[in-house]
Amino acid sequence: MKFPLVTKHYRRPLALVLALGLATLFALPRPYAAHAAGSTAREKAGERADKLSPDLRERLRAKHGAQDRVEVVLQLDGEEGEQLTAFLKREGVRVKGRFSNLGSVAVELPLGAVEELAAFHPEVASVSVDREVRASGHVSVTTGATAVRSQTDAKGRAYSLDGAGLAIAVIDSGIDDRHSSFNLKGKIKFSKDFTGENITRDPYGHGTHVAAIAAGLSAPTSGVYEGVAPNAGLVNLRVLDAHGVGKTSNVLAALNWLLTNRATYKVRVANLSLGAPAVQTYKTDPLCVAVRKLVNAGVVVVAAAGNDGKTAAGQKAYGLIHSPGDEPSALTVGASNSLGTNQRSDDVVTTYSSRGPTRGYYTDAAGVRHYDNLVKPDLVAPGNKINSAEALANWLVGGYPLDSKVYQTDSMKMMYLSGTSMSTPAAAGAAALLLQVNPSLTPNLVKLALTYTAQPLAGFNQLEQGAGQLNIEGAVRLAKLIRTDLSGSTALGAPLLNGPAPNPQSTVGGTTFTWAQGVNFNYTYAHGTNLITKYQKVYGLGFLLSDGIVLGDGFLLSDGIVLGDGIVLGDGILLGDSRPWNDQPVFLPLGFLLGDGTMLGEGFLLGDGIVLGDGFLLSDGIVLGDNLVNPLAVLVYGDSTPCMR
């Protein structure tokens, strides 16, 4: 079957997979531009030798008819030349959309013309399949949001930390504005459909649920089911259709619009609770490229890790982070399970949450595959059996018993869903709170604050939980201390905070824990108090926090120095048992981290990954629940079944 996007565990047959969309928002760097056919002087081992994405190359090798139609996305390195413009006007070639902010074009054309397109038009940096994308209690208490609602500003004035004054873009299946969670004039600041169905409400049901987790109003439920940032505005960009399915080009169109209009609607955060299999390297994946452009423009992009944490045999699966969650500049979120309690001492990573490392790849001229192998996710947040807004008469609740029955009025109904789709908006809401308390933060500083203060969960390694579980209480305390006058000219090693470093401990839901005090750093991690006491160059716009040296345009710093003294880079990925940044056993030594083609070869762990419960994978890739033997039992989805915990 095609590579659908994963939908965070829902009970829906295979078609339920979450639509993913954002490519990496990063202008394709010259070092990764594909070579034209015959340029043997540059085609040597280690360099990317093929402009075509791996799945597109496979279609060509399968010897489909030359006139078979294929939908692709072109990434351009520079302006569109006259010859390419003429090619795109040729009979049989149809331009579906031009996304000028992203440097990409969506095209439908005969399969036989694909290689000509790549070989004879040097401004075409890569050609990718326009892949299908699908939609993959008390969150404010257990994440620590409730603990920081009451704040006092520098002049001693009290205010509520609730996301007021900024907006979150929800790129999903739409938002039902009739639901009480959004029943405030101006709450939804703008809505636009990119599916062609010309509706912006949510017949599928996923986007409404997601939006309420991030920013659902507090008053309708007396604060019981409020969103993490309940007074933040929402921008509703609909990219998934009535069945939860979309195309990469839908998402690109939405991101392109957002780059142009983000300031008009005060959008500082974008939520992507969708994803597709990460087939090609993040350097050329259209969704990843788009995401990086947004991040470089100052928007925090929060993306779901995916729900492929188990193999068909019920074993742990590594290397299945989705796109655009595999993009280094995105804040990638996995799912934790709070086990139905507000206390955090018993929290765990869900069995279905996708684990790192990232496994997109490119193939060099010698035929060798080069996998990205970046450490992801960045953190985890509560995502199991989350009770949130139910869109009126939506597809999901119409087919499965998901209604939580806490309210009877149509505009008040709530439903249970689980998955990294649900954990992602919790982190997006947290990002909005940090930007409210300190609007000067860059996306990399937001990521730093959220990961540095995260709670490491006992028994889970960094490829499962990243830094640990979202801790809004600690992140807000840290964000308030970060200087507001930082800029690109701030010297490396200059003081980062106004005052002494905070106590690296939090008490949330009755549980006291020590912060992770580190951040994912490419193939390893960085640790040390100087991460928060001294300014690092990677905190500015245009840098990849993960590797520290790549600017947004793909060029290296002249001296390569972006981190000051006092920061320790780990020598491996650790098996955290509550102290993953300290002296735990090495899980995979640096330099042997899932070497290309050695441990997680393609096709070994891949599954389509529709998550309906908490673990069991059917042969077709649909995830049901632990101990669920009869596939038909998926129709039973209440508290009394093992589908959900």
Residue 227 near residue 215 (C-beta atoms within 8 A): yes
List 354, 421, 423, 506, catalytic entry: 421
Q: Distances in Å between the alpha carbon of 477 and those of 145, 155, 494?
A: 12, 17, 20
> What is the 8-class DSSP label of residue 237?
E
- For 251, residues 6+ apart whose C-beta sits below 8 A from its C-beta are 19, 20, 21, 22, 23, 133, 171, 194, 239, 272, 274, 287, 290
CA distance 37 to 491: 45
In the annotation, is 421 catalytic?
yes
CA distance 573 to 575: 7
Q: Outline where 400-493 has alpha helix (H).
A: 420-437, 443-452, 462-465, 472-481
CA 517, 499, 507, 388 dihedral sign is negative
In the annotation, is 172 catalytic?
yes
List 172, 193, 241, 378, catalytic entry: 172
Helices 472-481 and 443-452 cross at an angle (nearest 10°) of: 130
For the chain, the C-alpha Rg in angstroms (whole number) is: 23
* CB neighbourhood size of 14 (10 A): 15
Residue 233: how many CA atoms within 13 Å on its side-chain side? Answer: 17
388 phi and psi angles, rounded to 5 deg = -150, -175
| Strand residue runs (E) in 338-375 | 348-349, 361-363, 369-371
Which residues, listed in sequence order, are joined to residue 270 by a DSSP beta bridge?
169, 301
Pairing relation of β-strands 386-389 and 23-24?
unpaired
| Strand residue runs (E) in 338-435 | 348-349, 361-363, 369-371, 379-382, 386-389, 414-417
Hey, is 180 helix, strand or coil? helix
List 9, 179, 206, 527, catalytic entry: 206
Residue 332 near residue 325 (C-beta atoms within 8 A): yes
Helices 472-481 and 420-437 cross at an angle (nearest 10°) of: 30
In the annotation, is 206 catalytic?
yes
Edge to edge, the sheet with strand 274-275 lists: 245-247, 132-135, 274-275
Tokens 């062609």 correspond to 196
Amino acid at 377: P
| Residue 162 tokens, joined | 């609730």
Closest to 460 in 3D by CA, of 327, 579, 370, 565: 579
Catalytic residue positions, numbered: 172, 206, 421
